[in-house]
Structure 1
Amino acid sequence: MKYSILIALSMISVSTFAQESPLTFNRNTEFNSGYYKFNNRKETLLEKQIFDIGKIKNLNFQKIILKDSKDNSSFSVLGIMTFFETFDSISKRTITFDKEEVNLLINNLQILEQKTSSKPSTESKYKYLTKNYLEVGSSFNEISNSWTYYIKLPNSSSQNPILLDKTEFKELLNILKKIEKDL
């Protein structure tokens, strides 16, 4: 009897202390960007300037310039800012892209534009995912006989994708090309 109680207590204690903590996965990879490193400089005064470039639906496209007063260096990025609302809160969020990421985004969206220029013979969908998990894609809508484009922001499971028509998608490409020259 003593042995069975001792074994039961041993099993309970082993199972209690042997549990692993759940893995956490950080979907925001901005910590790898030059903007994040520049923004977190110590012992210097940083100035942040924000210039509005354009707006599509509830997405505001901005050029963000950080300046270091110590050595007069600066760093420019594209910022995509949005507001989104849940039942009990309203949030503002800005996702940043450096020049290399903007170039890659433009190239992939131009390829997407070419692929969606005609009606597909089979059901087709496209998706592009950036390093910091901004998702842009398209699917063919047979009812309207046209392509529907979408943008989905990272870490926004409660938010639906932002749907764009063909003219709004072209406007998105034009805004990205415009800011690419300034970065």
Structure 2
Amino acid sequence: MKKVLFMMAVVFLAITANAQTNKQEESSKSETVQLLQKDGVLLRKDFYDIGKVGGVTFQNIIITDMSTGEKTGALRLETYYYSSSLGTDTYIGTLDFDELEGCIKSLTYIKDNVITSLPEIYTECEYKTKDGVRLGAYVRTTKKERDWRIYIQTRSYTNRSQEFLSSDKLVEVISLLNKSLENLKAHL
């Protein structure tokens, strides 16, 4: 009897954990993601490659509602996680068009004012989007050194979606964000 109760408890916990993960995945506040999840609408999706830094791929998506002609766009950030037992998982997060300028300003501030010196204590600085994408910098401390690192996390519910880069890559990230913004302006 104890084995049956134990098995039922394990199954219940697994179902609950899976339901929570699915709920977290669906809780995006991004207007682009919400449009993509709409039912009963014919949507055209055009994809424009922007570039890549480390293991993060930058790609714009322009979505057109074919019945109204209304367009919206966003930057898609893609990261990958490889596990020998699970294979490769792909994680995609979005920055809506109206978030890009704020993200660029925030990362430029980090580049010009935050990572210019090392603080005595552990420090993080982060920008978060409506879809839960996180871009930021933190002080990494190892036995041999302390330095600034930057990170991009495309899905807030899993650390597997994180990509860590050296702080000198921040200039490239900002450049790709600017390229994305110009591309979206040209197509919207």
Report the equivalent of 2:138.
138
Aligned pairs (5 A) from 1:95-174 = 95-130=93-128, 131-135=130-134, 136-139=136-139, 141=141, 143-144=144-145, 146-153=147-154, 154-157=156-159, 159=160, 161-174=162-175
**Structure 1 residues 94-136: Cα deviation after superposition (integer angstroms, max 9, x where no partner):** 2111122222221221121123343235234223141333232
Tell me, in whole angstroms, the C-alpha distance in 2 between the residues paired with 1:30 and 1:79: 17
**Structure 1 residues 150-170: Cα deviation after superposition (integer angstroms, max 9, x where no partner):** 22332223x274221233111
Does residue 179 of structure 1 match 2:177?
A: no
Tell me, in whole angstroms, the C-alpha distance in 2 between the residues paired with 1:30 and 1:61: 22
Gaps of 5+ in 2: 1-15
TM-score by length of 2: 0.72
Which of the pair is proportionally richer in helix? 2
Gaps of 5+ in 1: 1-20
After TM superposition, give the deviation of residue 141 of structure 1 in Å.
4.7
For 1:57, give the aligned amino acid. Answer: G
Aligned residues: 162
Q: Which has the higher contact order (CA 8 A, sep 6+)?
A: 2
Please report the RMSD computed on the Cα atoms of aligned residues, expressed in angstroms. 2.7
Higher-Rg structure is 1
Identical columns (%): 18
Tell me, in whole angstroms, the C-alpha distance in 2 between the residues paired with 1:160 and 1:144: 25
TM-score by length of 1: 0.73
